[in-house]
Chains A and B, each alone.
Chain A
Amino acid sequence: MSGSNTRNTEKQTAVCLEIRDVVKQFPGVTAVDHISLEIQEGEIFSFLGPSGCGKSTLLRVVAGLENQDQGDILIAGKVVNALPPYKRDCSTVFQSHALFPHMDVAGNIGFGLVERKLPKAEIKERVQAKIDLVNMGGMEDRYPHQLSGGQMQRVALARSLVLEPTVLLLDEPLAALDRKLRKEMQVELKRIQREVGTTFLNVTHDQKEALSLSDRIAVMKDGVLLQIGTPAEIYETPRTRFVASFMGASNIFSGNVVSASDGKIKFQTEEGLQVILPEPADIAFDQISGFSVHPELIELQPGNVDSLAAGSAEDMLVEGTIQEVFYLGDFSEISVRVNDTETMLTIYQSRSCNEPDTRIAQGQPVVARFPAGSMNLLVG
């Protein structure tokens, strides 16, 4: 099985949600194409991918709002395929928060508890606890149209959490909020999850959100699972071309392995650049189709190769000319054209107090140094 499974048996946590070979088709498109995965109790798991990749559909299948064509959904070990959404032990926070406009905050949060026919006193108590948890104290009597976007999202969260579901499903809950609010809510979400310990299944198209929020991420495209791993694994070692570029590793080189010896392989790119990389443990040589490098790892030095300071023999050095410099405040995005080719490199240079950036200018000849550890192998 996959590496993540062995890690889990070490930790002895239960699998709280299992998606088994699920297929969901709509006329003309397969939204979910044979996806299987297991989500651990207490973790924040994110489905990450571009619009239309099937992540929301998959979430709705788990919730019971859509029915899959094939495969099973198991919540806490029980197959729930035949159960309608009101009988499944999961709760959804919608992107449009979907608060009931004719009920106040307390009424909204207590909705599910009323359906469970709990005594009024208990409902009041549990609702109050959740109101405090999401920092909405004092707003019990407000109506949704009197709340801001962030407040509505918190009420939606409380409304689902008060039912103490096995899994909390979040369908791009922060997508409708502005950037600053989104960041605040991300912090809130993480805090709340740590406090209640419920498993969160989050769907998002925002890489940064997935990285900062999740314990594990599954990257999806066109209904297929491309890679599952921790945020660091997904970001630093993307396996496919798509995952790499989606995570911002915008420098992607195609090519193949030409020789191998002493635990190293020699890789030649389509442009004719040669680089020596450590032999990968888990990939066959003929599967390696290229490598990716994140823009922030590349070092730029003016001049050409000869004028360079010493570096490791396994660094890759590329001569090029600066095409454009985009000043973004905390860092600058520099695009460099590799000499004698059409290849463009994207490099991030952080702002630093040490040296003035007067040497980086359009048209300047530079050497891009790709440090030994910066090149990540891609398959497929």
Chain B
Amino acid sequence: MKKKKRIAQKILWVLSILTLIFLWAPMILIMVYSFSNSKYGSSWEGFTLKWYAKLLTNDQVRDALMRSLIIAGVTVVIATLIGTMTAYGLFKLNFKGKQFLRTSILLPIVFPSVVTGGALLVFFTRLVHIPLGFPSIIIAHIVFCSPLAVFIILGRMQRFDWSWEEAALDLGATPFRTFLRVTGPQLLPAIMASAMLIFPWSFDDFVITYFVSGVGSTTLPIYVFSQLRFGATPVINTIGTLFVSITMLGMVLVYFVQKMGKSSTT
């Protein structure tokens, strides 16, 4: 019996490693080739950092990168804010249609991005006349990122001992001071976690952004897409590497922030 278990474990190991390789191989290849001294970035011809240097001087890339960063930054702040307030209201208040609201908040994440993108485009051009560009992209990003914040923070609140708030009030803190000294710090890890997850969601988004960006507002993913039409170039590799690095960094930070949060709760 024990021998069978050991064999099964070994098989599981092999399968896991194969799966990981399968998933990561394209990524690793791209990262490796971004340092390769080849014209088309699809083979290894010596180590070089010149593609990264070229990236720094490429105006289009720089613009696209800035645009993506600004959009992601603003989205993170506003979506987290909306998410926190919504979660607080959903948790504390009872009103007619609460269940309906709670379910409908899920929709932007659940709908296919093509559907959401198309709907938002119609909304911005036909219904509300919001200029396509920064305003439309930011609003669109807030729409599909806020639900994430709502549910992460709501989930945290459900494991909360709300008698903390009552205790704080009872001890002499006003509702504002209670939020500042007790509720806020307790929610902070969840707020940080949702911020860290929303950033890559917004930064990496392609489909919805493509629909609502209009002309001239290129974000980094859209730039990469447009460049792919010309065939593979090393610049794609460098951008790809950047993408992965930034997202990985975000994940690592999420991990540590959540760990911090866990150690300060019972």
Chain A residues with a Cβ under 8 A of chain B: 63-65, 84-87, 91-92, 94, 96, 98-102, 111-112, 115-116, 143-145, 159-160, 163
Contacts and interface: CB of A to CB of B under 8 A. Distances in A.
B265 A94 contact: no
A115 B182 contact: no
Given A94-B163, A96-B163, A115-B177, A101 B170 contact: no
A12 B264 CA distance: 49
B261 to A, nearest CB: 9
| For the complex of A and B, 10 pairs with smallest distance between CB atoms | A112-B171, A98-B167, A98-B163, A115-B172, A145-B266, A102-B264, A85-B169, A112-B172, A92-B170, A86-B172
Interface string B156-186: 0000010110111111111001000110011
Interface residues of B, number: 20
A94 B162 CA distance: 12
A92 B172 CA distance: 11
Given A86-B173, A92-B167, A94-B167, 13 more contacts: A64-B170, A91-B170, A91-B171, A92-B170, A98-B163, A100-B168, A101-B266, A112-B171, A115-B171, A115-B172, A115-B173, A160-B170, A160-B171
19 contacts: A64-B170, A65-B166, A85-B166, A85-B169, A91-B171, A92-B166, A92-B170, A96-B161, A98-B163, A98-B166, A100-B167, A101-B164, A102-B185, A111-B181, A112-B173, A115-B173, A143-B264, A145-B265, A159-B171
A206 to B, nearest CB: 21
Contacts of B169: 65, 84-86
Contacts, number: 66
B265 A86 contact: no
Contacts of A143: 264
A238 B181 CA distance: 48
A163 B167 contact: no
B173 A101 contact: no
Contacts of B172: 86-87, 112, 115-116, 163
Contacts of A96: 161, 163
